[in-house]
Chain A
Amino acid sequence: MTAPAPTVLARNLTMTFGRTRALDDVSFELVPGVTGLLGPNGAGKTTLLRVLATVSAPDTGSVVSLGLDPRRTDMRLDLRGRLGYMPQEPGFHARFTAFEFVDYVAILKELHQRRARHEEVRRVLDLVGLGAVRRKKIKTLSGGMRRRVALAQALLGDPDLLILDEPTAGLDPEQRLRFRELVGRLGEGRTVLLSTHQTEDVFALCQQVMVLHLGKLRFAGTPLELAGLAQGHVWHSHERDPGALGAWRTGTGQHRNIGNPPAGADLLEPTLEDGYLLLLGGDRVEEVSA
């Protein structure tokens, strides 16, 4: 079976804000399916997503999405018509109802025919489970419902490329489960790039994962491959191992350690989180253990 053609081709993306290099020579390809983007705060995830969503342009480098180069005005506008973007902070107009807000974004997405547009708005709101509250003002909705409104507007027009920035932030476990179900189905036949802090979301949803750290792309591969980086580097002990890069007490009372295990250590099967933490190195691991 031949590999699917890449939907997004990013080459040597660099973006600097003052002295901070938010993106440092980042290159990658996205294929149809769900790709997770992991990284700590300040890694450059949002900057990268904004570039892919054509909200901002990189200082250097290029990105071609769906065969369109956003450096050309006509292609940029065409691309925007085929992508859906859910920002980390969507910026709701609190006095709008859910319907009015999504309808407004629908117009901005050039769904100009009123009847068809309203049908589409109802469809996406039903899709995220908000059909019953579409006439309610956004300021009266819960945090989880607002996230779903944000997702609904990203789904308008059935985009070919879906960019979701921390879509599960602030959701409780049940809401996150629902979100995963929906995003998982959306990934069929589309390209979805999902940025998150939650490694469980990546493990549950993503066929591919990228890790961004200090503006650099540190990993691109499958979740299993990322977890495999920690193969042989995870063990448990009764006490915290002083030689471990990081360790924490689990619910069983044992300590889970990451790093270079001593001889005879009781090795554990690594998880995605283990691979992620090991990849980021000592600083990040110490942060987790504190």
Chain B
Amino acid sequence: MTTTVDRPPAAGASRTLPAGARSRRSTLALTAVESGRLLRHPAVLAATAVSVWLLWRWGKGTAPVLHYADIATQFALAALAGAALLATNLAVLRSHRDGAVDLYGATPLSLARRTLSHLLSVLPLVALGGILVVADLAWLAGMPGSVGTPHLAEAATGPALIALGGCVGVLLGRLARSVALAPLVLVALVLGSLTVAELQAAGHDQRPWTWLGTLLRAPPFDPPPAALLGRPATWHLVYLLGIGVALATLALWRSLAQERARRRAQVAAAIVLVAALAATAAAAVVQTRPTSSTLADRRLAVVTNPAAELVCQRRGPANYCVFAGFEPQIDLWEPTVRAVVAAVPPAAAARALPVTVAHRVGLHRLIDEEVNLGVQEGQGPSGPIVAPVGTAWGRDGPLFELAHARLAASVAARLVAPTRGDGEEPRWFPCNAQAVVALWLGGQASPQAAEGISQAVTDPYSEIFVFSHDPVLDDPPWDVRAGRFALALLDRPRDQVTQTLWRNWDLVTAPETTIERLGEVLGIQPSSDTSNLGPGC
């Protein structure tokens, strides 16, 4: 050991500051240490990897709709929120777990300030969440076909959840000394949030109370225009932040009470708590209000009179009608449409073109049930017959492949059986040779379309041939034999099939031509299974 015990010159330097300033700076110094340990915690590192992977996985190969992508970031960051809960709880309980309570209790930095340090230590993790969200949305915005604008409140909700997780972890640590409590609470929160999110996705207009949950899914798949979503994102963010502030204040209040702090400090904490609860309650009430009549009317109009909501432009063989702001998606559809048209004899194509490709979104979950029934009873869509396409588009994954297949098959159906007469619907059911030819044509569009057709063949109710804007209206199921025959054709050399079909085009596309007759023309024996023909066949 050294022999020197001289009084150090630096030891008293800190004491020259007033007590309040000293405590504040010490709180920040402790926050820095705790932040560093939090960011290096194994749970946080693992959750960061999971969040990054989810963001990448969900965005990869998609044509992003940014006012949906911002919602998805909340789910991706939920892992970080859970890690924040666990890691902050362990940090708060560290002195109890290791038996250092007496040691800490003899130091001047008060329990309340230590609690504050733990609460503030989550902020760098919140910032990390914000960076991930910004990076994700920037990456998505640069993708081909990217449309829409992220909502600031939706984008901020994920980082807010991280802050909320940290506040829960700190409060649990101040209420109970058990390390088992936080994981149990986390499991309960996850199960509860997922349950509410599922209920909410089923139609939040019918269940406005589900907005009191934390994670709030959007209706699955095809995103409507942002103006039709009707999500009270800003108030929901205020709601979450209000809960976080309330929980943080409770933790501080508990600490002040435990260390016999001055009454003035406890009263200040109580005032902040009341204010936070009031803000939370106000936001809870506002976000659970029923949908405005204006928004309800506009949603109904999109379903019953979509032409009024769409903007159209002609490109080559097709008219493309899209929701305003979704024009970049046309670039993604064009190759599919052109590929299908190129597979049809030019003369036949000339008779059928132009095809109208128009947006269709599944708003039925956002519309009142009474209105739904009214539409089903015959109000129906108005305007020209179109090949509908959803707003969700991408390269990879079964759902996107089905979207490719639907667009290709719907365009092909109009080329195979063009509208006869002004506004008259094509009089055919997706059976017989027409269905086979349309499916084969659709499979020529792209590998994704061919894969989507293969998926659809296994499910005759999967809605390959779509004639209506309104997904509530039942599109007729189609003949599985036709699907299997089409798949067999797709396995054949393209040139060989093309030559035979073009040579016999009028015959193979006639409404009365059966699958057996088509088989004779092509030299293929169709399946003899007559089950699952569907009501139209």
Contacts and interface: CB of A to CB of B under 8 A. Distances in A.
A and B bound?
Answer: yes
A123 B8 contact: yes
A24 interface: no
Nearest to A163: B106
Most chain-B Cβ atoms within 10 A of its Cβ — which of A57, A109, A185? Answer: A109
A186 B5 contact: yes
B11 A157 contact: yes
A53 B114 CA distance: 19
A210 to B, nearest CB: 20
B1 A129 contact: yes
B99 A89 contact: yes
Interface string B1-19: 1111101101111110001
A24 to B, nearest CB: 22
Given A107-B33, A108-B107, A158 B28 contact: no
A73 B5 contact: no
B419 interface: no
B498 interface: no
A127 B2 contact: yes
A104 interface: yes
Interface residues of A, number: 52
Given A91-B95, A120-B11, A127-B1, A110 B103 contact: no
Contacts of A53: 102, 105-106
Contacts of A129: 1-2
A178 B29 contact: no
A112 B2 contact: no
Contacts of B5: 127, 182, 185-186, 188
Interface in A232-265: none
A129 B5 CA distance: 12
B304 interface: no
Contacts of B3: 185
B106 A114 contact: no
Nearest to B23: A110
Given A74-B19, A78-B19, A120-B8, A108 B262 contact: no
B98 A116 contact: no
B1 A181 contact: yes
Nearest to B1: A129
Contacts of B98: 91-94
Interface string A65-91: 000000001100110110101010111
Contact of B104 (A108, A111, A127, A158): A108
Interface in B465-492: none
B191 interface: no
A158 B4 contact: no
A189 to B, nearest CB: 8
A117 B127 CA distance: 28
B100 interface: yes
A89 B108 CA distance: 20
A204 interface: no
Contacts of B8: 119-120, 123, 158
B102 A112 contact: no
A108 B104 CA distance: 7
A116 B107 CA distance: 18
B30 interface: yes
B177 interface: no
A109 B109 contact: yes
A105 interface: yes
A54 interface: yes
Given A77-B19, A91-B102, A182-B1, A110 B14 contact: yes
A153 interface: yes
B371 interface: no
Given A116-B13, A117-B29, 11 more contacts: A53-B106, A78-B19, A91-B98, A93-B94, A107-B109, A112-B25, A112-B26, A119-B10, A156-B11, A157-B12, A188-B5
Interface of B: 1-5, 7-8, 10-15, 19, 22-23, 25-26, 28-30, 33, 94-95, 98-110, 114, 260-262
9 contacts: A80-B108, A85-B106, A90-B99, A109-B108, A110-B26, A110-B109, A113-B14, A120-B8, A120-B10
